Structure 1
Amino acid sequence: MANTLHTDCRQRMEEYKKALCFYLQKTKLPIVFCENTLCDMSGEFSSYIASGRLEYLTFDGNHYDKRRGKGVGEIEILEYAFLHSKLLQDGTHVIKITGRLKVLNIRMLIAVRKMFGDNCIQLRINKDGTFVHSQIFIAPVLFLKKYFIPLKEYVDDRDYIYFEHMLGKAVKEQNEYDLFPLFDIPLIRGISGTNTQAYQSNLSVYERLQCVRWVLADNLYFNKKYALKKRPFVNQFLVKIYWTIIIFCVLVCQLIIRK
């Protein structure tokens, strides 16, 4: 696969298994595990599958031009899951996580997600909406089906158009859902499939708050320039007040910690 250095099959499989065990143990949410190489390791999770907690989907999905990169396959995995998953038929939202990675503060992110209604997208996007961090994001199923998956045909690593760019484009162009950041930096343990670099997961509380400040600033700029312009005035006003309060709270927390 183009632009993929982490190709050790045995190591990758072990990372998938460990990550899946982590989420089964650390969360109570139903989990859909979907992959596109016909690799069947479902026997190791038979009890979870039998109880309905886990749904294991695999299909032969690597027949596209691999020079286009792994982003195409990633979108096809989402597309296949929405078409064939029983668990997702009744779901309103998905928390999409790259399969080999452990998000160590996943319970915190889930808890914060419950503060918002069903009409929101949560992710980390840059201020001009051209790039989204895709290791983990939370989004309505209907948003992904309607706005994101149809952009699959434009993803092509040869033209430097990646999964993350198209997700940003989908968020930028839609006008049905409110955008909020993840109000904590995902603490990710694992290595990048693209460059085999390890993710940094040992940030101090102060460093996490600093990152949250940057993310809030980028998302606030994005909302002012794009998302909020499409919302009613009262909605714009309330969201701006909400964001101002959050940023103020983060600054106060940083000052307390620094002292």
Structure 2
Amino acid sequence: MRAIDDAGFRRLAETLSSVARTLQAEPDVDTTLRAIVKAAVDHIPGAEHAGISLVERGKIRTVAPTSTIVETIDELQYDLREGPCLDAIKERQTYRAGNVGDEARWPAFGPAAAGYDIHSLLSYRLFVTDRTLGALNLYSSRVSSFDEQTEEDGRLFATHAAIALVGAQREAQLGIAVENRDIISTAKGILMERHGLDAASAFRMLVEASQSTNVKLHDAATWLVENRHVRQPG
């Protein structure tokens, strides 16, 4: 394990602070994901490729890969149902390998990955409290590209990345909630004006229309707003 002196710790802290500020400034989830993998390749020694295995509704998919080889290696893990990113998510640990082709932990995935000239890897669980967001995956064509100190440094980076990602997700959810609220309020206003209703009666009419047509409330409100100038029969 390579030692880090005081100057090294200061450089690492400055780098992580800069990365954290950059990630938190990104405007949406997709941009944040792309910023995370770019920063990983730029700042984690030995990382040639990076991607994120994102957990959504119980399913895992690769997002923001820095190259097509990331998608290939990730798909191998999903198809074979073994590999470091799956273990990082399931076991809530970090996984590192310096010569994956000889790894007994992944007897099917290891040789398959080596066949694509990927030999070293690092997979970090991305999480906040007990919520697992996915895994940050780093790949290299070189043998023993990541050492123990790199793993530790990368873990700090992954912590910042997870915080930035969950923040972007919450902002996106808040934006959707505000948009839904606004469109429903607009639809209520249309019904109030058109039928001389109060707010409660207009909302009840909107809910009844949603239920009778088996359409979500937001979708029913959107349809009404988009078609408010269309003259309806009766």
Could you say which TM-score interval applies, normalised by the shorter chain?
Answer: under 0.3
TM-score of the superposed pair, with normalisation by structure 1? 0.24
The TM-score with structure 2 as length reference comes to 0.26
Q: Which has the larger radius of gyration?
A: 2
Greater fraction helix:
2
